[in-house]
Chain A
Amino acid sequence: MSSELIATVFVAISLRSIISMSSYSGFNKPPMFGDYEAQRHWQEVTFNLEVKLWYTNSTRNDLQYWGLDYPPLTAYHSYLLGHVAEKLNKSFVELYKSRGLESKEHKSYMRFTVLAADAFIFIPAILALSIFMDRTFKKNLRQQMQLLFAIYPGQILIDNGHFQYNNISLGLASVAVAALLCDQNYFAAFTFTLALNYKQMELYHALPFFAYLLSKSLSEKSVNSAVKELTKVATIVLFTFVILWYPWLNSTHSTAEVFHRLFPLGRGVFEDKVANVWCSINIVYKLRKYISNHKMALICFGTTLLAALPINVHLFFRRSKYTFILTLFNTAAAFFLFSFQVHEKSILLVALPSFCLIYWWPTEMLWFLKVSVFSMIPLLKKDNLLVPTVALMIIFRFTFKNWVFKTDDITISKRYFKMSIEQVSEILMIATLLAFLLIEPPSRFPDTWPLIISIISCGHILIFLIWGYTKQLT
């Protein structure tokens, strides 16, 4: 092992463990608290109730209070963590009584579970991904890619700050991409199914996987072997699903119940200010006032498909690993911009393929990664994480200056042009952030700054989607 690799891995762990000491979502905010309490509550519910009742509203499981709304793999993970928690301190997972529990000891435990997921899933996954990226595309950029993953502020701030386990779903998805790159298609299908069953948001990545694997299977020489190949992949996916969903499969009612928890139409097209198209349109045209939730969901579904299908069809007919990664980026961006019930954190799903695109477009993708963190600033402000956000961004910005990646394929003047656009955008983002911090918004519109941040980010992401489209289709 090279010393650089060891240093990178430990830089990743240090930053994550240092951010762990900061505040988290919903800290000291009764009665609902935040994502930290949600995760703790899931441990409580899964530890105390029978498997079948996890997703069912009952007197012992009030779904209005952070009811489980992630797929079964998350529930099993919570179950496991709940058992460990109980061993450490019974009060961590006591039914009802543990609600809103906040203690230093408990925080250390919860933070430690995220760090464990980083150390055992996320970091090995990105190491694998970077190694297979290098092998597949015959380049030598894995050290830069590893460092980029190690210090990218977005994932650190959401997982180790705000409090979530995106590192698990993103890690599983990275393994799936890596497996696909080295032609282990069955393994890719399996790990991607796991990712999807950890967080339904992984649907953002599903279409390209589907298109690629389908195209790959159908490209077999004879019809017979194509059908065989297709059956194998389908069996693996279905089998994984059945095993994971087994406790809820005995009646359609209970399956539908889980399904309904995972895709809650009732919660509206978006909750907080988010950098997507609907939230931006909402400023001039109040969507929630004029369009019913169901109708809105259909509109979202339609536009998302419209934005995502052409590139996936393109991937199907012109299959290559490079196109796959580009499609992954474009599809995720399309989903983020147009789909229903988008969260700020979902930008991380777009960030994942952008790490891979660093191999071809370092300047653009570094820019995109900065935008992605910028788009989450209102959320991070709410969690009292603005100081670490700015500090991490400074570390990120100054570690990855343009000289880190030596691109020789573009002419100097073109590069200069790109860099100056990027600088304008960077100044705009910094100015907005400063205004957000220093200028009190008019009392009639308290959300002015979050809204402006959302619109600026949305504009950027839209441009990146168009950019990705042109790169893919030309």
Chain B
Amino acid sequence: MSGYFLDLVAISSALKVLLFPAYYSTDFEVHRNWLAITHSLPINRWYLDATSEWTLDYPPFFAYFEWLLSQVAKYVDPKMLIVQNLNYASEATVYFQRSSIIVMDLIYMLGVHSILAALGVVQSTQKHIAGSMLLLLNVGLIFVDHIHFQYNGFLFGILFLSISAMIKKRYLWSAFAFAVLLNFKHIFLYVAPAFAVYLLKFYCLGEGKFVQNTIKLLAAGLTPFVLSFGPFWQQLPQLMSRLFPFKRGLTHAYWAPNIWALYNAADKVAVSVLGRSRDPDVPSTTSGLVQEVQHIVLPTITPSITFALTVLSMLPILLKLFLTPTREQAKLVFMRAIVLCACSSFMFGWHVHEKAILMCLLPMCLLAVIDHRDAKFAYILAITGYFSLFPLLFDVDLLVPRYSLYMAYVAMMYGQLERVYKTKPSIHILEWIYFYGFIAIPIYEHIISRLLGLHLSLPFMPLLLTSVYCALGVTYFYVRYYLYAMDFQWPPSFGKRRRVTQIKSSVSKRKRKVQ
């Protein structure tokens, strides 16, 4: 590893340490509770215990991981390991849990280093520096992991290690790592289709030993599942009901910026335009409770509709990946397919969390330093995606940090992309206008709504605005990037073609002059 990479590791870790005293969400208590459950209860009670409302709902590997952590935790503050000690948060507990994320992030950094190498980004080049900065100092991870409190960093590390193994033709390792990842957090199912198609095409079918390879692949891929779920085979239905709780609503309390946010908003607008009153017994979409909701004007969406839409929307890019002839070409298509699969699930999925956007944002950081066209889309998504995480950080003391960290990051990203490609990212004027539109949201939230007293009568308005405005950006990104990844030209670029012909003609003129 070269000097600056290690410097960035140190800087990034130190920045995370600075965030120790920051506000944390209920996810902190969730993980404390899991530490307590795995430490204090026998293994067959792990997925049954309901002392706290934050029951264990991650796959077993994550539970084992919490058990391992608890072996250290008992030396730090044994009181955090008592199941009944709800909302226990001594200083030692906070420091321990926060630093466990920072330590686990070393796996993430390893993953970043490995995937940059696998993608052929040479060390000490501007591309490598930019890629390392964008990923190691990633503001999304800082928001979600180090302020809000979650363990996404090391999971993305495993994802990156798995992708780099795939690119380096270590298919079995890749499948194994990905299966391990799924057993840590099943949300990574979002990107599983891309892995499945790539393995099918280049491993099972590509090497001419279909049966043999398929058996090996299944062995590598299923081993983690056996290790993970084995001890729980008698209570699988109970475990599954914890992992896939379909009792939740179409959208989360804060609408993730996807199609359904726009759909909900359209429904609200339609209600007020048509003047139809709401049935008082049915919870409204913005009531802040996690439960099933019904639309009033537009048809209500069921889980099967979202599932069908998600699968259908993934098909084109998966087909494209399958039809890509050589591994060399497939490398980029695979990366894009991961982003697009994640984004499809994000756009159409049932009860999507806003944090899931990280699954698009982080791989886009890699694509941004590889191809300048991807870089432009990465920038559009970055502006929107990181902004959409703000509602997670609502504490008063976090307002200045959230805006300034965001601004510092997107400005740094712009500068780095400019350095890598020696030219400014080609952002269209309308896209700039959209970007500047984001300024209106904080102005409304902190100034206008308070001056007019709207923060009392319409308390969810800023959330709704953030969600809908970001949803526009994410949808725009999704459509444009999908078309780009499928090699469609959009918008039809007459202007560009003309410029090319002009250059050609001027070149030929110059040639004539020389002659």
Residues of chain A touching chain B, judged by Cβ–Cβ distance below 8 Å, are 2-4, 6-7, 10-11, 13-15, 17-23, 104-105, 108, 111-112, 115, 387-388, 390-392, 394-395, 398-399, 401
- On chain B, the residues within 8 Å of A4 by CB distance are 411, 415
Contact (Cβ within 8 A) A17 B404: yes
23 contacts between A and B (CB under 8 A): A3-B418, A6-B407, A7-B408, A7-B412, A10-B408, A10-B411, A14-B401, A14-B405, A15-B18, A18-B19, A21-B19, A21-B21, A21-B23, A23-B21, A105-B396, A108-B396, A111-B397, A112-B400, A390-B17, A392-B14, A398-B10, A399-B7, A401-B3
Question: Which of B15, B22, B418 is the one whose CB lies under 8 Å from A395?
Answer: B15
- How many chain B residues sit at the interface, stated as a range, is 20 to 34
* Contact flag A18-B18 (CB < 8 Å), given A2-B415, A394-B11: yes
Known: A2-B415, A3-B414, A14-B408. A387 touches B401 (CB 8 A): no
**Least distance between B155 CB and chain A CB atoms (Å):** 24
A3 touching B412, Cβ below 8 Å = yes
Please, which residues of chain A bring their CB within 8 A of the CB of B434?
Answer: none
Q: Are B412 and A18 in contact (CB under 8 A)?
A: no
B460 touches A (CB below 8 Å)? no
Tell me which of B11, B19, B418 has the highest count of chain A C-beta atoms within 10 A of its own C-beta: B11
The verdict on A108 contacting B11 (CB below 8 Å), with A3-B418, A4-B415, A10-B408 known, is: no
Chain A residue, CB-CB nearest to B417: A3
Contact B408 A11 (CB under 8 A): yes
* A391 & B14 in contact (Cβ 8 Å cutoff): yes
Q: Do residues A10 and B21 form an inter-chain contact, with CB atoms below 8 A?
A: no
- Which residues of the other chain, B, contact A387 by a CB distance below 8 angstroms? 17, 20
Task: Name the contact of B400 in the complex, choosing from A2, A13, A392, A395 (C-beta under 8 A).
Answer: A13
Contact residues in B for A395 (Cβ distance below 8 Å): 11, 14-15
Q: How far is the CB of B281 from chain A (nearest CB, A)?
A: 38
Q: How far is the CA of A104 from the CA of B397 in the complex (A)?
A: 9
For residue A22, which residue of chain B has the nearest CB?
A: B21
- A388:B397 contact, CB within 8 angstroms: no
Residue of A nearest to B6 (CB): A398
Minimum distance in angstroms from A89 CB to a CB of chain B? 13
List 13 other contacts, CB 8 Å, given A20-B397, A394-B11: A3-B418, A7-B415, A10-B404, A10-B405, A14-B404, A21-B19, A21-B21, A21-B397, A104-B397, A390-B17, A391-B14, A398-B8, A401-B3
Shortest Cβ gap from A408 to chain B (Å): 20
Which residue of chain B is the closest to A108 with respect to CB atoms?
B396
Complex: A20 Cα to B398 Cα, angstroms: 10
**Interchain CA distance A182-B401 in the complex, whole Å:** 35
Question: Shortest 9 CB-CB distances between A and B: which pairs?
Answer: A10-B408, A3-B415, A17-B400, A7-B411, A394-B14, A6-B411, A13-B404, A14-B404, A10-B407
Closest to B416 in A: A3
Residues in B neighbouring A105, C-beta threshold 8 A: 396
Are A17 and B14 closer than 8 Å at their CB atoms? no
Which of A21, A387, A388, A390 has the most chain B CB within a 10 Å cutoff? A21
Q: With A and B bound together, what is the CA distance between A18 and B15 in angstroms?
A: 9
Residues of A within 8 A of B408 (CB): 6-7, 10-11, 14
Bound-state CA distance A387–B15 (Å) is 11
**Residues of chain A with a CB closer than 8 A to B3's CB:** 401
Residue of A nearest to B8 (CB): A398
Tell me which residues across on chain A come within 8 A of B18, comparing CB atoms.
15, 18-19, 388, 391-392
Q: What residues of A have a CB within 8 angstroms of the CB of B11 in the complex?
A: 394-395, 398-399
How far apart sit A13 and B396, CA to CA, in the bound complex (Å)?
Answer: 15
- A109, closest chain B residue (CB): B396
Cα–Cα distance between A15 and B8 once the two chains are bound (Å): 16
Taking each of B8, B23, B396, which has the highest tally of chain A beta carbons within 10 Å of its own beta carbon? B396
Contacts of B397 in A (CB 8 A): 17, 20-21, 104, 108, 111
Interface residue from B7, B22, B414 paired with A18 (Cβ < 8 Å):
B22
Distance A387 CA – B22 CA, assembled complex (angstroms):
13
> Could you tell me the distance between the alpha carbons of A306 and B408 in the complex, rounded to whole angstroms?
47
Bound state CA distance, A18 and B3, in angstroms?
27
**Contact residues in A for B401 (Cβ distance below 8 Å):** 14, 17-18, 21
With a cutoff of 8 Å between Cβ atoms, the chain B residues found around residue A10 in the complex are 404-405, 407-408, 411
> B89 CB to closest chain A CB, in angstroms?
15
Does the CB pair B407–A115 fall under 8 Å? no
A27 to B22, CA, bound (A): 17
Set of chain B residues within 8 Å of A390, measured between Cβ atoms: 14, 17
**Complex: how many Å from CA A16 to CA B20?**
14
Contacts of A15 in B (CB 8 A): 18
Question: Across the two chains, which residue of chain A brings its CB closest to B400?
Answer: A17
Min CB distance A150 to B, Å, is 10
Name the contact of A115 in the complex, choosing from B10, B23, B396, B400 (C-beta under 8 A).
B400
Q: Smallest Cβ distance from A28 to chain B, in angstroms?
A: 13
Q: How far is the CA of A105 from the CA of B8 in the complex (A)?
A: 35
- Of A15, A18, A392, chain B has the most CB atoms within 10 Å of the CB of A18
Query: Smallest Cβ distance from A324 to chain B, in angstroms?
Result: 33
Q: Which A residues are in CB contact (< 8 Å) with B396?
A: 105, 108
Bound-state CA distance A4–B3 (Å) is 22
Q: Mark B370-406, 1 if CB is under 8 A from A, else 0.
A: 0000000000000000000000000011001100110
CA distance A387 to B18 in the complex (A): 8
CB distance from B447 to the nearest CB of A (A): 15
Nearest chain A CB to B189 CB, angstrom units:
35
In the bound complex, how far is the Cα of B404 from the Cα of A13, in angstroms? 6
Q: Complex formed: what's the CA distance from A460 to B10 in Å? A: 27
Q: How far is the CA of A113 from the CA of B414 in the complex (A)?
A: 31
Q: List, in ascending order, chain A residues with CB within 8 A of B414's CB.
A: 3
Chain A positions within 8 Å of B8 at CB level = 398
Q: Which partner residue on chain B sits nearest A23 by CB separation?
A: B21
Minimum CB distance partner of A112 in chain B: B400
**Nearest A residue (CB) for B13:** A394
Cα distance A144–B19 in the bound complex, in angstroms = 25
Q: With A17-B404, A18-B19, A18-B401 given, is the CB distance from A394 to B411 under 8 Å? A: no
Residues of B within 8 A of A19 (CB): 18
The CA-CA distance from A4 to B410 in the complex, in Å, is 11
Cα distance, A112 to B398, chains bound together (Å): 11
Complex interface: chain A residues within 8 A of B411 (CB):
3-4, 6-7, 10
A-contacting residues, B197-216, CB 8 Å: none
CB distance from A241 to the nearest CB of B (A): 36
Instruction: Determine the chain A residues whose CB is within 8 A of the CB of B7 once the complex forms.
Output: 398-399, 401
Q: Cα distance A104–B415 when bound, in Å? A: 37
Query: What is the chain B residue whose CB lies nearest that of A116?
Result: B400
Q: Is the CB of A394 within 8 A of B405?
A: no
- Distance of B58 from chain A, by nearest CB (Å): 29
Across-interface contacts of B13 in A (CB, < 8 A):
394
Asked whether, in the complex, the Cβ of A394 is within 8 Å of the Cβ of B10, the reply is yes
Q: Which residues of B contact A17 (CB under 8 A)?
A: 397, 400-401, 404
Residues of A within 8 A of B22 (CB): 18, 21
Chain B's nearest CB lies how many Å from the CB of A36?
15
Shortest B436–chain A CB gap in Å is: 14
Q: Considering the chains assembled together, what is the distance between the CA atoms of A105 and B395 in angstroms?
A: 11
Q: Which residues of B contact A392 (CB under 8 A)?
A: 14, 18
Q: How far is the CA of A105 from the CA of B7 in the complex (A)?
A: 37
Q: How far does the alpha carbon of A104 sit from the alpha carbon of B21 in the complex, in Å? A: 13
Q: Which of B13, B405, B408 has the most CB of A within 10 A?
A: B408
A391 contacts B15, C-beta separation under 8 Å = yes
CB distance from A423 to the nearest CB of B (A): 16
Give Cα A388 to B20, complex, Å.
Answer: 9
- Shortest distance in angstroms between B11's beta carbon and chain A's nearest beta carbon? 5
Q: Which of B13, B22, B404, B414 has the most CB of A within 10 A?
A: B404
Chain B residues near A394 (CB-CB < 8 A): 10-11, 13-14
Give, as a whole number of angstroms, the nearest-CB distance from B15 to chain A.
Answer: 6
How far, in Å, is A49 (CB) from chain B's closest CB?
Answer: 30
Query: B33 to chain A: closest CB distance in Å?
Result: 25
B391 → chain A closest CB, angstroms: 18
B:210-259 near A, CB below 8 Å? none
Contacts of A111 in B (CB 8 A): 397
